[in-house]
Structure 1
Amino acid sequence: MDPAVEVVEREMALLLRRAQGFSTRLANSLHPDLESPAYVLLVWLEDNGPARLTDVAHAFGVGKATLSRQLSQLEQLELVQREPDPHDGRAFRLALTGPASERVREIRAARRAQYRALLRTWPEEDVSTFGDLLGRMNALMEQVRPD
């Protein structure tokens, strides 16, 4: 077995486990009943703007039924709203509510400050390289994910 790949697998598993805990804390700071995957969905909507359910499901590689359950919770918590799709009168788009959008931006700013503090001892070039490598890994994973 390739020792370098073993290190990547171990470190990715640890990073994902820690990131999950971090996301859970962030989700709870937005709303105590919010689950971590739903927080990630809110961040995606903040980055990408209103989107159809099928587009969001495709972006996350999940089925519409799975996503619909999360969206129901987000609508009940008044974090997401449905709006008519301007390109198709029969469809709707999902959008953050105004207060949710503001709160997500605040939480993300706090998260960036935490990352900045964690990485403060790293040379700027290392931080940049790390971001590039993570981006490359995400792009690879996007190519092989099941649709």
Structure 2
Amino acid sequence: MDEHPPETVRAVEHELTALLRRSRAVSWDIAREVHPNLEPNAYGLLLWLRRSGSIRLTDLAGRLGIGKGTLSRQINGLETIGLVRRDPDPTDRRASQLSLTEEGQRRFDTASAARLERFRETLSTWSGQDVETFARLLNRFNETYF
């Protein structure tokens, strides 16, 4: 593995910090688009639930790398505002399957479409190859960072 110059690694850290800071601000806006009482961190939960369709709490906690207690509290909040439901797990009576309600899907899809449009606008001046490379490198970073 190549040794990277410290200034290059610092530049990556600086840019990621700026991205995450801006991302948090945008997350508040997107969360409010889904539901006025939605916490910004919950958008990521909704994304995972939308992708998986139905998933057990323990499996979702493992994928997200958070504790079951923390996740359960967040899911309870999403249930309270009508975005998530728990259904009995047909393979294990002690467990339940989490999924978005119809209202949760509708609200998430609407907010997600707006978010994707923001990405399209931001990337509109980039070449297709640059966007593909950016997506590939972000995926690689996300797969190896945690």
Report the TM range for the smaller structure's normalisation: over 0.9
Partner-residue secondary structure (3-state), 1:69: helix
Q: Shift of residue 68 of structure 1?
A: 1.2
What residue is the counterpart of 2:113 in the other structure?
A: 109
Query: How far apart are the structure 1 equivalents of 2:78 and 2:110?
Result: 18
Count of residue correspondences: 142
Matched, 1:128 2:132: yes
TM-score, normalised with respect to structure 1? 0.92
Choose from 3, 15, 23 the match for 2:7. 3
Aligned structure 1 segments of 4 or more residues deviating by more than 6 angstroms: none
Q: 68, 82, 86: which is aligned to 1:82?
A: 86
Task: State yes or no: 1:71 paired with 2:69.
Answer: no
Q: Which amino acid aligns with 1:23?
A: S
The code of the aligned residue for 1:48 comes to S
TM-score, length-scaled by structure 2: 0.93
Corresponding residue SS for 1:36? coil
Structure 2: stretches of 5+ with no match in the other structure: none
Alignment of 1:54-65 (within 5 A): 54-65=58-69
Q: Aligned to 1:122, what secondary structure does the other structure show? A: coil
Equivalent residue, structure 1, for 2:48 = 44
- Deviation for aligned residue 1:137: 0.5
Percent identical among aligned pairs is 45
Structure 1: gaps (5+ residues): 143-147
Other-structure match for 1:145: none
What is the DSSP-based 3-state SS (H/G/I as helix, E as strand, rest coil) of the residue aligned with 2:88? strand
Amino acid at match of 1:83: D
Deviation at 1:112, TM superposition (A): 0.8
Which runs of structure 2 are paired with 1:26-37 in the superposition (5 Å)?
26-37=30-41
CA root-mean-square deviation: 1.1
